[in-house]
Structures are given as C-alpha cells and as structure tokens.
Amino acid sequence: MSDDLDYLEQAVDLARQNVEQGGRPFGAVLVKDGRVLARGVNEIHLNGDPSAHAELQAIRLASRELGPRLDGCVIYASGQPCPMCLAAMHMCGVTRVVFAAANAQGEPFGLSTAAVYQQMTLPLDQQALEIRHLPQAAMGDIYSRWKALNAAR
C-alpha cells in the first residue's frame, strides 16, 4: 500500500508539473516489479493528438522496452482513466490501475469522462456516435491469411 501511495504521488506530481507547463492536469507512472518503466503526461496541448493522454504516453514508452504485452504492470494515474485509456490497459494486459481523482472530482472543471463511459454502456445503435456495420466477405480471407502467417511465430 505504501508503494501505491509513493507511485501515485509521482503521478500527481507529473500532473502538477504539466499544468505549470501549459498542459492538462494528468500524469501517469507505469511500474513493473517495483521498477518505474515509464512516465507520461497529457500532451494534447503540444501536438493536438487527442490520444496523447498520460496513460497512453506511458504505455507507448513501456512498450518500446517490453513489446505490446504489459502483463504484470501497474499504472498509477492522477485522474480516473478515460474509456480509451482503460481499453488500452485491457488490450495490452496491464494488471492493475490506481488513480487519485475520480470523475466526480473532475466534473466541475470539465475534466470528467463519465458521459463517455455512459455512452459506451449503450447498445451500438443507441449511442450518440453513429456506428454502422457493413460486413465485407474479404475480411474472412484476410483474417485467415493473418492466422496462417502468424501460426508459426
């Protein structure tokens, strides 16, 4: 538990520093086996990339060392991870996430993703984002080819 607090304080400090440098109040620290592998801050203000969230920046850096699987890693985040970041954590195998500020705390400042979480609980045809499925037969062959090429790896 004390390790959790130490790493979480590092993420909060990154958020503080990022605000002072003109960024959003988000920082993340990615740890495996007691070793910090990567740190990230929200960099949307630097490059206009809406996916440049602190957690994703840390995942990108750690993946350079470990590859696409981050099993056994823990992410410490200053704010509650948004659905995009949380999905990335699931996709790459992050084992645990610890965060400081919940969506409710960020809401008065326009820093909550609770509405996005809510949208994603709805069936596809009820979400605000128009989502259309147009099946393409060629995808079956493409998937089969991928599996054949990767079976030996």
Residues designated as active site? 55
Evaluate whether 57 touches 44 at the Cβ level (below 8 Å).
Answer: no
Each residue of 47-62: b (16+ CB within 10 Å) or e?
Answer: eeeeebbbbbbbbebb
In sequence order, what E strands does 23-120 have?
A: 27-32, 35-41, 73-79, 96-101
Evaluate whether 44 touches 50 at the Cβ level (below 8 Å).
Answer: yes
Tokens representing 87 are 């999905």
Q: Rounded to whole angstroms, how far apart are CA atoms 22 and 52? A: 14
**For the chain, give me the number of helices (H) and strands (E)?**
7, 4
